[in-house]
């Protein structure tokens, strides 16, 4: 059971993120949901690359033991950078919407559009 803890955590965090994106009526909370979903994906990528007792693959004279996979770590770093950019863009959209409409409720924004 303890070996599956990262995957259980991924499912819980992704579920909370999807819930926030689907059912919350505040654009800031929707952005937080997107951020939670991004974090769940990053945790999943790191969990995939984990090897029990593994060493980092940075040694030139590495011992004959198992090594962790470097590809998921590189993908996670890329995903973090992309996630920060997406979060900044979504938050800037929230600021523009609030300045223009005076609300962060997407239902009210849709009604005021016409």
> Is residue 55 classed as helix, strand or coil in its secondary structure?
strand
Quote the CA–CA distance of 56 and 73 in Å, as a whole number. Answer: 11
> Is residue 77 classed as helix, strand or coil in its secondary structure?
helix
**pLDDT tens per residue, range 76-97:** 999 999 999 999 999 999 999 9
Q: Enter the tokens of residue 59.
A: 């040694």
> Is residue 8 classed as helix, strand or coil in its secondary structure?
helix
Q: Enter the tokens of residue 57.
A: 């693959």
What does residue 2 show for φ and ψ, rounded to 5 degrees?
-70, -25
Catalogue all structural domains in the chain, each as residue range(s) with its CATH number: 2-52+66-113 (1.10.287.3510)
**pLDDT tens per residue, range 37-88:** 999 999 998 888 777 777 777 765 666 667 777 788 888 999 999 999 999 9
């Amino acid at each position: 059971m303890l070996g599956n803890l990262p995957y259980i955590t991924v499912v819980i965090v992704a579920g909370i993120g999807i819930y926030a994106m689907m059912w919350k009526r505040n654009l800031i909370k929707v952005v937080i949901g997107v951020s939670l979903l991004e974090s769940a994906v990053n945790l999943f990528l790191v969990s995939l690359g984990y090897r029990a007792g593994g060493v980092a693959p940075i040694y030139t004279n590495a011992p004959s033991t198992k090594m962790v996979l470097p590809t998921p770590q590189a993908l996670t770093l890329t995903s973090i950078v992309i996630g920060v950019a997406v979060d900044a863009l979504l938050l800037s959209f929230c600021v523009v919407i609030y300045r223009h409409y005076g609300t962060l409720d997407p239902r009210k924004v849709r009604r005021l559009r016409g």
